Amino acid sequence: MNRASLWFLVVLMGCATQEGAAPAELAAAGDSADTDDAQDTSEPADSSDSSDSSDSSDSVDDGENDSAEDPEEEPACPDSWLLTYSLEGQVDITDTPLNIGNSEALVGGLDSDEIVLRIPDDGGVPGSGEVVITRFDLIQDFRVSADLLGEIAVDTYLHSTSSEECGAASGQLAGSTVTWSDCTFGNEHGTNSWSPDEGAEGAGCINDYHVEGWVDCVDDSALASCSTSWLDDGQNDLDYLYNQPLLSFQFDTPALERFTMEGSPYGTELPTYTNNRSWLSLEGELKSMSLERTPDCLCSE
């Protein structure tokens, strides 16, 4: 092969090599362009995420500031006074057969004999408004006897209680008088047959008044018997629950230091399972008083 032919062959091979490499170079250039485009696309996304995070943080900060600026909520209930009174009184028994067993007996006077009243606060002192009994505790311990050709005697020990934070009974204090809400007597009231089985109904009764104890009848008489009083000879155990009516509490002064609950001619009537009618009068003397939180159940809506 001469020189001219050899030179022509070298030129042809050089051209073929350049044409074959062009697609690879274009591909490399394309990849570079795609990478740049991807970087350009991701940058706005990063900027957006940062902005959202900042906005969210600002939102949280604003919420915290708003919460901090909210005024403190007022208490659900105003405070009220709890007044604890010692109790003593008298039980009158009437309408016994031939009035032979009619009698009276003193009750109460023990440290445990108490009634607790919740009374509204009026500028740092108890004031007029709704009154409730939150606790009542009274022991009746007495003996009644008569000589009818031998003694017939009835010994009574009864523990009467009621306790309710939201009020076992409710009424209104105006000046020096508490007037209790309605309390309607049950059937047979006014007769010897009125028993705890009927009791009474209403917010002005001491609701869920629990009586527990015994009545012991001793029959050594030739003219009378325990059965006449609807009792068995010996000990008659008692445990019952009913609603007990009340009479108004009359305080000696507006300072509410002492009250009386009396009726005409006796006190409030007590239903019984015995053949008589029984009555209770009470006096209370202030033992302690404290200003305390009022339960939610006693708050006005």
What's the whole-number mean pLDDT along residues 149-173? 96
Do 192 and 95 touch, CB atoms closer than 8 A? yes
Residue 35 clears pLDDT 50, i.e. is over it: no
Q: Higher-confidence residue: 133 or 55?
A: 133
Which residues are CB-contacts of 177 (< 8 A; sequence separation ≥ 6)? Answer: 248, 249, 250, 251
Residue 32 clears pLDDT 60, i.e. is over it: no
Q: How many helices (H) and strands (E) does the chain have?
A: 1, 15
Residue 54 clears pLDDT 60, i.e. is over it: no
Percent of the chain residues past pLDDT 70, beyond the cut: 74
pTM score, two decimals?
Answer: 0.74
pLDDT in tens, 130-153: 999 999 999 999 999 888 888 899
Pick from 8-12, 67-71, 118-122 the range whose average pLDDT is largest.
118-122
What's the whole-number mean pLDDT along residues 250-262? 96
What's the whole-number mean pLDDT along residues 80-98? 96
Residue 4 clears pLDDT 80, i.e. is over it: no
**What is residue 261's three-state secondary structure?**
strand
Do 88 and 107 touch, CB atoms closer than 8 A? yes
pLDDT at 72: 59
C-alpha to C-alpha distance for 283 and 199, rounded to whole angstroms: 23
Percent of the chain residues past pLDDT 90, beyond the cut: 66
